Structure 1
C-alpha cells in the first residue's frame, strides 16, 4: 500500500485527537481521555513543544471507509536518563485497524527512531498493556526488551489529588 510518514502539523490535531480516542477505545480506557485537540495544538505546536508527532497518510484513493486519509500516528517526547543520556519516550503508536498489516506501524516506529537517533538519543522507551499481545509481539520482533521481566522495573504514576498533594508539599523558598 502507498503511504507517507510526515511530521504532524497544527492542522492535523483534530485527526490525531480522533485516533487517540480510537486507541483508547481499543485499550478499554475511553473514559480516561480528557485532552482536546485545542490542547494538542497548544502543547505540540508552541515555542517549546511538549511532544512531537508523526502521522501516516494514504492517498485519497486509499482513504478509509469513513473517508480519512490520516490513518496512523506516532506520538513521542524526549526524556533524559541519568545513566544513559538522551532518550525518547513513545507515548502512542497507532494504525487504524483496516490499515494494519501494510507496514505502516513499522514505518512509523522506524521514523520515530531515526528522528531520535538524529537528535542523539540512545534509547527508545514505551509502555504496553500486559494483555496487548499483538503489540508486545510486534515490539519484541523488532528487538525490544521487556524491562518488567528482565530488570523488574515498575512504571509508577501520580495524578489527581495525589499529584496536587505532592505539589502542595514543595518548599516555599
Structure 2
C-alpha cells in the first residue's frame, strides 16, 4: 500500500469510488458531478479541493478528499468531504492511513481542526471515527439549498 497526493489522472477512478459510496449510501442518483467539473475543481486554475489516494498494487483503492472551511469562531479548518475505501479493501488499514495523513496535513497547514459528517446509520464509520475520539455533535442540523445551473 502506498499513499500519495491525488493527481488529475486519478479523477476517473475517484469518481468510480464516489459512485460506489453513493450505492452504499443508497443514493446513486445523487452523484451528478461530471468528470470535467470534478477534475477542474481539483486541478484547474483555482482548485477548491485536495485529496490523498491509497494505492494497492498500483490501483487506487481509497481516497480522502478535503477542502478548507472557515469558522468565524475558530479560523481555518479542514473539511473532510469524503473518505472512501473500496468494499473489498475495508478493514485492511487504508482508512486509518488516510485519516492519519489528513491529521498530518491539518497540522502542517496550521488548521485548527477537522470537521466532517457521517450518516447516523453508518455504524462501521462511526466506530472507526470513535477510535480517534471524534466528537459526534447531535446538536446541529444540516441545511442545504440546491441550485440548478443551466
Instruction: With the length of structure 1 as denominator, give the TM-score of the two structures.
Output: 0.82
In structure 1, list runs of 5 or more residues that go unmatched. Answer: 61-68, 164-173
Match of 2:142 among 145, 155, 159: 155
Higher helix share: 1
- Structure 1 residue runs of 4 or more that deviate by more than 3 Å after TM superposition: none
For 1:17-38, what per-residue CA distance to the aligned partner results, in whole angstroms no more than 9, with x for missing partners?
1000000000001010001221
Larger of the two Rg values belongs to structure: 1
Q: Please give the residue correspondences for 1:74-85 in structure 2 after superposition, counting only pairs within 5 Å.
A: 74-85=64-75
Root-mean-square deviation (Å): 1.4
Which residue number corresponds to residue 114 of structure 1?
104
Instruction: With the length of structure 2 as denominator, give the TM-score of the two structures.
Output: 0.95
Alignment length (residue pairs)? 149
Give how far 1:48 is off.
2.1
Give how far 1:47 is off.
2.6
For 1:89-129, what per-residue CA distance to the aligned partner results, in whole angstroms no more than 9, with x for missing partners?
10110101111111100000111121121111111000011
CA distance in 1, matches of 2:69, 2:48: 11
